[in-house]
Amino acid sequence: MTTETRPGLQDLVQGDRVHRRVYVDPQVFEEEIRRIFKRTWLFVGHDSEVPHPGDYKTDTLLGQPIVMTRDGNGAVHVLFNRCRHRGAKVCNQPYGNSSSFSCLYHGWTYTNAGDLIAVPSRELCPADFDPGSFGLLPLPRVESYRGFVFASFAADGPTLEEHLGRVTVYLDRLIDRAPDGEVEVAKPVMYEYGGNWKFQLENFVDNIHARFTHESATHARRTLGPSMGPRYADAPITDPARTRPGNLRLLGRGHVVCDYGTERTKIPFGGYGFSGRNAEYVRLLEGRHGPERGRLLADADIHIVIYPNLLLHTQYSHYRVLKPVAVDRTIMQGYPIKLKGAPPELNDELVSAASDHVSAAGAVQIDDMEAFSRCQEGLAIESDEWVLFPYGFDGERVVDENGEVVLPQASELVQLAQHEAWREFMANE
Amino acid sequence: MVVSRDLQHEVEQFLFHEAELLENRRFEEWLELLTRDVIYWVPNIRDDSDISDEAMISYEGYDELRARTVRLRHPLNPTQKPPPRTRHFITNVSAEAGEGGELRVRCNLLVYVSKDGKVVHHPGTSEYRLREEDGSWRIASKKVYLITNDLPLTPLPIM
Ligand code: FES
Ligand SMILES: [Fe+2]
């Protein structure tokens, strides 16, 4: 690691601008993995991906194989998927159900809680060899919030509760949209783009780009939408000239929320607020939460960024898990969110709408991916060093009674808040 | 039940014609090949996809496909500047009689997509239901199983 970048890391974010190296320098990327991703909490999966005892899914976290299991007692584990003998990845199926995992190489066998229960030809090992100390390694810390399972590579640091802070208020809103008070996820689509991981986080709460980047999709909806099914009903495009307050909220530690209120869901042909569309669903929510909150939940239209690797979206009901692969390569998994207890036809519609929104062959995200790879290409230019975030920089920022910073909807202070969190993580060796 | 040699030939010509329309961006003419109740489905991850339990790469009816056409034609669509170039290679065509006079057609497919100096390819299998309407075959459903569907997908801004 060169000495050149280390002292300068914090100076890469300055006021309303960010240095291009934040997006293109492989050494900065390495430091990000070490100082951000390996220190903080990372989202790993949802309870509903392993609903029954013995269920598991395999995945990678920062390129390292993991397996998330539910043991016979119903407890969820997040384990490194690596044989303690000579290192083979133990479980090679994307998901399944099994009470144990046997290594393909020499047959060491582990329970789904990670305990090593069989070592073939053990008599050939020294007498004091103790299988009890060679279970599959768990991630150093694993905690969950209402079914959302997070893990940390760091043994110490803020608790998950401290890490999430006020973001749980909005996560609650997303989860409480399920009449049974729990969400479950469908299997994901995956996409990858040739750009830095931060582009996706910036974009998820970017209220300025849509009428340029997504104009073709908007045009299709505008011209065909009213005659088409609800899947193609979408909100009218956000007007960047409007500065209606109360939309963007900075929640600390890089977490941000865009709360569109119910405005986008009150359009003639529906949107994915449901008060106008699925009366049965609204009745269920009102029954559980009362008319006011019930309707608020039914119409909730929020984007949530849980820094650094989870993005959630109520309207096209899904969340995305971000995987930084290289400074210029990012993989995303998009999981449709289903609302437990909601009418089945509504959940089918949500899965379909989420797919359409987030698939790399779909209608919306595909445009953003184009923007990400073009930014990556443009930032190869060395003589223009700074990336600018001027919109709203001088605008109002109100701190509300809960300590949330409230911004107007067209403000790049929301992206700068992510970079500020970045700077704080990176300042810490 | 295997179809006659003439019908086999007709089906193959139909598939080649479809590919040619897509490759030459004759999207509106391609829409004409579809029944109004068409389902165009590209499942994801597994081959036995369940639309309730799995995100889909694509799951579209006639209206959505028409909207896709409008998007691809729009002068401000950022994914179409320049438009990707595609070639469809179709082999192993088999056809058999389906229900209600429909044909069940299966073929292997290899799609190459070239865009911005990169080429991606997607091998797979297509399953069609063809229905006769006004004297010509129309696509009542098309399901494409890509064997690459468990990999992260790069943008596919095509029909
Ligand atoms: S590497 Fe797993 S048993 Fe030897
Ligand atoms: Fe976008």
B91-101, pLDDT tens digit by residue? 999 999 999 99
Q: Confirm if A41 and A163 have CB atoms less than 8 A apart.
A: yes
Which of these ranges, A184-188, A310-314, A388-392, B146-150, has the smallest mean pLDDT?
Answer: B146-150
pLDDT at B44: 87
Judge: A359–B154 Cβ closer than 8 Å, yes or no. Answer: no
Q: What is the mean pLDDT of residues A229-242?
A: 45
pLDDT at A218: 83
Buried/exposed A117-147: b ≥16 CB within 10 Å, e otherwise: eebeeeeeeeeeeebeebbbeebebbbbbeb
Ligand 1 site residues (CB inside 6 A) read A 83, 85-88, 103, 105-108
Residue A364 CA: which ligand is closest? 2
**Closest CA to ligand 1's atom 4:** A106
Q: What is the mean pLDDT of residues A158-175?
A: 97
Q: Using N-to-C axis directions, what is the helix angle for A365-378 and A197-204, rounded to 10°? A: 130
Judge: A216–B68 Cβ closer than 8 Å, yes or no. Answer: no
Output the CA torsion A378→A383→A385→A386 (10° steps).
-70
3-state DSSP helix/strand/coil % of chain B, to nearest 5: 25, 45, 30
The answer on pLDDT for B79 being more than 80 is: yes
Cis peptide before A308, with omega less than 30 degrees from 0?
yes
The answer on pLDDT for B6 being more than 60 is: yes
> Which residues 49-108 in chain B show a CB within 8 A of chain A?
51-61, 63-64, 66-68, 70-72, 74, 76-80
pLDDT at A210: 86
Q: Is residue B29 part of a domain?
A: yes
Mind listing the pLDDT tens digit for each residue in A192-226?
999 999 999 999 999 889 889 999 988 887 787 65
**Per-chain mean pLDDT for chain A:** 90
First vs last Cα of chain A: how many Å apart? 13
**Residue A301: pLDDT band with limits 50, 70, 90:** confident
Q: Confirm if B62 and B82 have CB atoms less than 8 A apart.
A: no
Closest by Cβ to A188, choosing from B55, B59, B67? B55
Specify the long-range contacts of residues A8-15, CB closer than 8 Å, at least 24 apart.
A9/A426, A9/A427, A10/A423, A10/A426, A10/A427, A12/A423, A12/A426, A13/A416, A13/A419, A13/A420, A13/A422, A13/A423, A15/A393
First vs last Cα of chain B: how many Å apart? 31
Q: Is residue B159 part of a domain?
A: no
Side-chain-side CA neighbours of A362 within 13 Å: the count stands at 28
For residue A409, which of A207, A216, A194 has the smallest C-alpha distance?
A: A207
Q: Is residue B16 part of a domain?
A: yes
Judge: A363–B57 Cβ closer than 8 Å, yes or no. Answer: no
Which of these ranges, A225-229, A422-426, B98-102, has the smallest mean pLDDT?
Answer: A225-229
For residue A231, which of A350, A150, A91 has the smallest C-alpha distance?
A: A350
User: Which secondary structure element, helix H or strand E, spans residue B128, and what is its range?
Assistant: strand B118-133
Mind listing the pLDDT tens digit for each residue in B65-77?
999 999 999 999 9
Q: Give Dmax over CA atoms of chain A in angstroms.
A: 77
Q: What is the mean pLDDT of residues A177-184?
A: 96
The answer on pLDDT for A298 being more than 90 is: no
Closest by Cβ to B55, choosing from A189, A194, A367? A189
Q: Is residue B110 part of a domain?
A: yes
* CA–CA gap between residue A163 and residue A173 (Å, rounded): 18
Mind listing the pLDDT tens digit for each residue in A345-366?
889 888 988 898 899 998 889 9
Judge: A190–B151 Cβ closer than 8 Å, yes or no. Answer: yes
The answer on pLDDT for B81 being more than 80 is: yes
* CA–CA gap between residue A101 and residue A121 (Å, rounded): 18
Phi-psi region of B21 (alpha: psi -120 to 50; beta: other; left: phi over 0): alpha
Q: What is the mean pLDDT of residues A299-322?
A: 94
Mind listing the pLDDT tens digit for each residue in A391-416?
999 988 899 999 999 998 889 999 99
Q: Is residue B134 part of a domain?
A: yes
Selected for mutation to probe chain A from B50, B53, B68, B81 (highest A CB count within 10 Å) is: B53
| C-alpha distance from residue A86 to each of A110, A116, A130, B118 (Å) | 14, 14, 16, 39
Judge: A190–B42 Cβ closer than 8 Å, yes or no. Answer: no
- Going along chain A from its start, the domains and CATH numbers come out as 42-152 (2.102.10.10), 165-427 (3.90.380.10)
Mind listing the pLDDT tens digit for each residue in A132-152?
999 999 999 999 999 999 999
Q: A335 to chain B: nearest residue by CA?
A: B55
Closest by Cβ to A371, choosing from B68, B78, B156? B78
Chain A residues near residue B116 by CB distance under 8 angstroms = 373
pLDDT at A246: 59
Q: What is the mean pLDDT of residues A162-187?
A: 97
**Residue B2: pLDDT band with limits 50, 70, 90:** confident
How many structural domains compose chain B?
1
Q: Is residue B151 part of a domain?
A: no
The whole model's pTM is what? 0.94
Which of these ranges, A74-88, A206-220, A382-396, has the smallest mean pLDDT?
Answer: A206-220
Q: Confirm if A224 and B63 have CB atoms less than 8 A apart.
A: yes
Q: B72 to chain A: nearest residue by CA?
A: A216
Q: Is residue B158 part of a domain?
A: no
Q: Which domain holds residue B64?
A: 5-146
Mind listing the pLDDT tens digit for each residue in A2-48?
444 444 888 999 999 999 999 999 999 999 999 999 999 999 999 99
Percent of chain A predicted with pLDDT > 70 = 90
Q: B57 to chain A: nearest residue by CA?
A: A359
**Per-chain mean pLDDT for chain B:** 93
Sheet of A386-388, strand order: A13-14, A17-19, A386-388
Selected for mutation to probe chain A from B46, B51, B56 (highest A CB count within 10 Å) is: B56
Q: Is residue B56 part of a domain?
A: yes
pLDDT at A299: 82
Phi-psi region of B51 (alpha: psi -120 to 50; beta: other; left: phi over 0): alpha
CA A183 / ligand 2 centre spacing (Å): 25
* CA–CA gap between residue A33 and residue A399 (Å, rounded): 31
| C-alpha distance from residue A275 to each of A38, A226, A284, A292 (Å) | 42, 18, 11, 12
Q: Give me the CATH number covering residue B119.
A: 3.10.450.50
Report the DSSP pairing between strands B136-146 and B34-42: parallel
Judge: A359–B56 Cβ closer than 8 Å, yes or no. Answer: yes
The interface predicted TM-score of the complex, written ipTM, equals: 0.94
pLDDT at A363: 85
The answer on pLDDT for A227 being more than 70 is: no
3 state SS for chain A: CCCCCCCCHHHHEECCEEECHHHHCHHHHHHHHHHHHCCCCEEEEEHHHCCCCCEEEEEEECCEEEEEEECCCCCEEEEECCCCCCCCCCCCCCEEECCEEECCCCCCEEECCCCEEECCCHHHCCCCCCHHHCCCCECCEEEEECCEEEEECCCCCCCHHHHHCCHHHHHHHHHHCCCCCCEEECECEEEEECCCHHHHHHHHCCCCCHHHHCHHHHHHHHHHHHHCCHHHCCCCCCCCCCCCCCCEEECCCCCEEEECCCHHHHCCCCCCCCCCCCHHHHHHHHHHHHHHHHHHHHCCCEEEEECCCEEEECCCCEEEEEEEEECCEEEEEEEEEEECCCCHHHHHHHHHHHHHHHCCCCCCHHHHHHHHHHHHHHCCCCCCCEEECCCCCCCCCEECCCCCEEECCCCCHHHHHHHHHHHHHHHCC
Selected for mutation to probe chain A from B62, B68, B69, B70 (highest A CB count within 10 Å) is: B70
Report the DSSP pairing between strands A386-388 and A17-19: antiparallel
